Chains A and B, each alone.
Chain A
Amino acid sequence: MTRHTQPEPCAPEQVTFELNGDVISQWVSPATTLLDILRGSGRITSARAGCRIGRCGACTVLLNGQAVPGCLVMAWQVSGGTVETVEGLAEDPDFVQVRDALATESALQCGYCTPGIAVSLVSGLRQQQNGDVVDLEEAVTGNLCRCTGYGGLKRAIAVLTEASSET
Chain B
Amino acid sequence: MELKPQPGMAGTGVLERIEGRFGYATDQHHLPGLLHGAILRSRHAHARLLRVDTSRARLMPGVRAVVTAADVPGLNRFGIVVRDQPVLCEDRVRYEGDAIAAVAADTVEQARAALEVIDVDYAPLAVVDQAETAEQMSPLHGESNLLAREAFERGDTDAAFARCEVIVEHHYQTPRQMHAFMETEGGVAIPDNNGGVIFRVGCQSGHRDAEQLADILGLKPSQVTVEATPTGGAFGGKDELTIQPAAGILALQTGSPVLIHLDRFESCRTGIKRHPVSMIMTTGCDRQGRILAHRVDALLDTGAYASLGPAVLENFLDHATAPLYRIEAYSVSGRLVYTNNGVSGAFRGFGGNQATFAVESQIDALAEKLAMCPMELRRINLRTVDEPGSRGQVVRWTAPPSNVLAEAGASPLWAPAGSDLRRRWLTGTGMAMGAQGNGLGDGLPDSGGGRVSLTAEGRIRLEFGFSDYGQNLAEAITCLVCETLGCVAGDIDVVLGNSRGPDSGPTSASRSSVLIHGVLADILPRWNDCVRDQAAALTGLPRDQLHSGPGGLFAGGRQVLSYRELAEKGQPEQTLIDASQAFPVAPEGNQPVGRYLQLQISTVARVAVDRLTGRVRVTDLHHITAAGRVIYPPGYLGQIEGAAIMGLGMALSEDMPTRQGHYLADNLDQYIIPTMQDVPDQRVDVLDNTPTTDRFPVRGVGELGIEAVAPAICSAIEAATGIRVRHLPVDAGYLLAELCAQEETCS
Contact = CB atoms under 8 A, between A and B. Distances in A.
A46 interface: yes
Interface in A120-167: 137-138, 140-155, 159
Contact of A1 (B30, B41, B641, B643): B41
Contacts of B264: 49-53, 56
Main secondary structure of the interface of B (DSSP, over half): loop
Interface residues of A, number: 56
Given A52-B263, A109-B638, A153-B676, A99 B182 contact: no
B682 to A, nearest CB: 6
A99 B18 contact: yes
A90 B11 CA distance: 19
B403 interface: no
Contacts of A140: 676
A151 to B, nearest CB: 4
B668 A56 contact: yes
Chain B interface bracket (under 10, 10 to 19, 20 to 34, 35 or more): 35 or more
Nearest to B13: A111
A50 B184 contact: yes
Contacts of B263: 1-2, 49, 52
B7 interface: yes
Interface in B310-344: none
A146 B673 contact: yes
B14 interface: yes
Contacts of B646: 146, 149
Given A1-B266, A86-B18, A39 B29 contact: yes
A46 B15 CA distance: 12
Interface in A83-98: 85-87, 90
Interface in B1-25: 5, 7-11, 13-22, 24
B721 interface: no
A104 B5 CA distance: 9
Interface in B274-310: none
Given A1-B263, A110-B232, A150-B645, A87 B20 contact: yes
A153 B18 CA distance: 12
B644 A1 contact: no
A151 B19 contact: no
Interface in B646-695: 646, 648, 666-669, 673-677, 679, 681-682
Contacts of A42: 29-30
Interface string A18-32: 000000000000000
A67 interface: no
A110 B638 contact: no
B20 A115 contact: yes
Given A146-B233, A146-B673, A56 B182 contact: yes
A63 interface: no
B518 interface: no
B429 to A, nearest CB: 20
Given A105-B7, A144-B182, A1 B265 contact: yes
Given A1-B41, A106-B10, A151 B20 contact: no
B677 A137 contact: yes
A136 B646 CA distance: 23
Contact of A148 (B21, B232, B638): B638
A155 B5 contact: yes
B265 A152 contact: no
Interface string B140-182: 0000000000000000000000000000000000000001111
Interface in A50-89: 50-53, 55-56, 58, 85-87
A112 B233 contact: yes
Contacts of A113: 182
Nearest to B183: A112
A125 to B, nearest CB: 15
B425 interface: no
A53 B668 CA distance: 8
Given A1-B112, A49-B261, A154-B676, 9 more contacts: A44-B20, A87-B19, A87-B21, A106-B11, A106-B637, A108-B14, A109-B469, A110-B17, A110-B230
> Which 3 A-B pairs rank lowest in CB-CB distance, beginning with the nearest?
A46-B20, A111-B17, A149-B645
17 contacts: A1-B265, A45-B20, A47-B20, A48-B27, A55-B668, A87-B20, A106-B634, A108-B14, A109-B233, A109-B642, A111-B230, A112-B182, A114-B17, A149-B643, A149-B682, A151-B637, A151-B645
Interface of A: 1-3, 39, 42, 44-53, 55-56, 58, 85-87, 90, 99, 102-106, 108-115, 118, 137-138, 140-155, 159
